[in-house]
């Protein structure tokens, strides 16, 4: 057979299509305990469970925000957390028309013999974990593969290993009712130009879709979460229109029309940059047989976090900042963003962290 058609087939197709609804996107709130600790530390908040719960409640209960979202990716701890008044977060999301998602990878490990390249772990017992997450209400999953650009990178080994890992993860998810988000992130670190990023992105995506085909993954029940095609972090910036053109061309050359939606990661881009780039892509004329949306973490939460600063009295203002970014990105998926959300505190602040590990 080419595509595996198990008992969840129709549901996977319907959920993947729903996540790609124009005007909606994904909030990536799946920071691991270690990573969210860094975020909290940056606003002088202690990394205890109650604070992690308070932050996510702030986000999920922002009036009006959930309408801009079709999915939220959660870390395992959060999947089982509740609001202060005892309502499971999963129920809050479902009632708001938002599908709960779950990060299922267990981080990266180095590939011996390479120059710091990595592969991603998490396949052990993955099927059982997916079943448990499905029972808890999750309907999609996420697994982050990471590649970098260097003089000899990404190596063929890194490309093959990561593509194969993504494909194995994807089919296991589909066997257990979760739509797999396929995330082959090429880090922005480096002084390379946008052409180099385009070449690498096209090669990596071609390898991913070959692997997905080899592993019988049902493309109509998947999503892609790629990097945008941009110059390296140490290279000269270009306009959103240029990023849009290169990114869409790379996708046209590699991503089959059967994939219903592409939800970009924001990498180290500032909130405003990420929104402007997404907007430019949706304004671009050309063949785009998939919807183009967002799956942003830092680029949706940065100014919200700063505004909150861990203080109860700032919650409303922080929620306002969050709603503002949600709306901006919702408009960007329709190509109608006018740049009016750019006044928030920190929205233009670069979120690039060299050699980002999370």
Residues in the site for another protein, rule: CB under 8 A? 1-3, 195, 198-200, 202-203, 206-207, 209-210, 213-214, 219-220, 249-258, 287-289
**Closer CB to another protein, residue 110 or residue 195?**
195
The CB-of-210 to another protein minimum distance in angstroms stands at 4
* Candidate list 225, 245, 306, 327, residue with the active-site label: 225
Nearer to another protein, 161 or 271 (CB): 161
- Asked, as a colleague might, if the bond just before 28 is cis with ω within 30 of 0, I would say no
With left for phi above 0 and alpha for psi between -120 and 50, is residue 286 left, alpha or beta? Answer: left
Residue with tokens 């070449």: 199
Cα(23)–Cα(55) distance, rounded to whole angstroms? 25
For another protein, the closer of residues 102 and 217 by Cβ is: 217
Minimum separation from the CB atom of position 252 to another protein (A): 4
Q: Is residue 269 exposed (0-12), middle (13-18) or buried (19+ Cβ within 10 Å)? A: buried
Q: What are phi and psi of 27, to 5 degrees?
A: -95, 120
Q: Can you tell me the distance from the alpha carbon of 81 to that of 154, in angstroms, rounded to the nearest whole number? A: 39
Catalytic residue among 183, 220, 273, 331: 183
27 versus 200: smaller Cβ distance to another protein = 200
Q: Cβ 2 to another protein, closest distance in Å?
A: 4
Does the active-site annotation cover 67?
A: no
Q: Is 190 left (phi over 0), alpha (psi -120 to 50) or beta?
A: left
User: Which residues, including other chains, have CB under 8 Å from residue 219's CB and lie 6 or more apart?
Assistant: 3, 212, 256, 258, 259
Assess contact for 275 and 25: CB atoms under 8 A. no
Give the residue carrying structure tokens 């609804």.
21
Q: Buried b / exposed e across 282-291, counting CB within 10 Å, b at 16+?
A: bebeeebebb
Annotation says 175 is catalytic: no
Nearer to another protein, 199 or 241 (CB): 199
Residue with smaller CB distance to another protein, 175 or 199? 199
Distance in Å, CB of 94 to another protein, minimum: 29
Residues 165 and 107: beta-carbon distance below 8 Å: no
What's the rounded Cα separation, in Å, for the pair 355 and 146? 11
CB of 193 vs another protein, minimal distance in Å:
12
Asked if residue 291 lies in contact with residue 262, where contact means CB atoms within 8 angstroms, the answer is yes
Residues belonging to the active site? 183, 225
């Amino acid at each position: 057979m080419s595509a595996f058609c198990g008992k969840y087939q129709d549901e996977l197709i319907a959920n993947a299509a729903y996540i790609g609804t124009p005007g909606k996107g994904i909030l990536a709130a799946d920071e691991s305990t270690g990573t969210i600790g860094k975020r909290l530390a940056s606003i002088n908040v202690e990394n205890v469970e109650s604070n992690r719960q308070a932050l996510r409640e702030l986000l999920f209960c922002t009036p009006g925000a959930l309408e801009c979202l079709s999915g939220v990716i959660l870390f395992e701890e959060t999947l089982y957390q509740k609001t202060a008044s005892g309502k499971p977060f999963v129920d809050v999301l479902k009632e708001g028309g938002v599908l709960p998602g779950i990060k299922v990878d267990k981080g990266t490990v180095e590939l011996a013999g390479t120059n710091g390249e990595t592969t991603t772990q998490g396949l052990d017992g993955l099927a059982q974990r997916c079943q448990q997450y499905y029972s808890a209400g999750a309907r999609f999953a996420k697994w982050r593969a990471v590649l970098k650009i260097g003089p000899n990178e990404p190596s063929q080994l890194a490309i093959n290993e990561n593509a194969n890992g993504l494909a194995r993860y994807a089919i296991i998810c589909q066997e257990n009712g979760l739509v797999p988000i396929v995330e082959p992130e090429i880090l922005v670190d480096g002084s390379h130009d946008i052409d180099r990023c385009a070449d690498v992105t096209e090669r990596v995506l071609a390898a991913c879709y070959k692997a997905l085909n080899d592993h019988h993954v049902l493309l109509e029940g998947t999503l892609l979460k790629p990097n945008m095609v941009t110059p390296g972090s140490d290279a000269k910036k270009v306009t959103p229109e240029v990023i849009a053109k290169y990114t869409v061309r790379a996708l046209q050359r590699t991503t089959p029309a059967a994939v219903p939606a592409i939800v970009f990661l924001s990498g180290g881009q500032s909130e405003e940059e990420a929104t402007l780039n997404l907007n430019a892509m949706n304004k671009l004329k050309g063949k785009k047989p998939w919807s183009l949306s967002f799956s942003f973490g830092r680029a949706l939460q940065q100014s919200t976090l700063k505004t909150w600063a861990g203080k109860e009295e700032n919650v409303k203002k922080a929620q306002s900042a969050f709603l503002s970014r949600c709306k901006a990105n919702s408009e960007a998926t329709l190509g109608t963003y006018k740049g009016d959300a750019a006044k928030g505190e920190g929205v233009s602040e670069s979120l690039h962290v060299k050699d980002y590990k999370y």
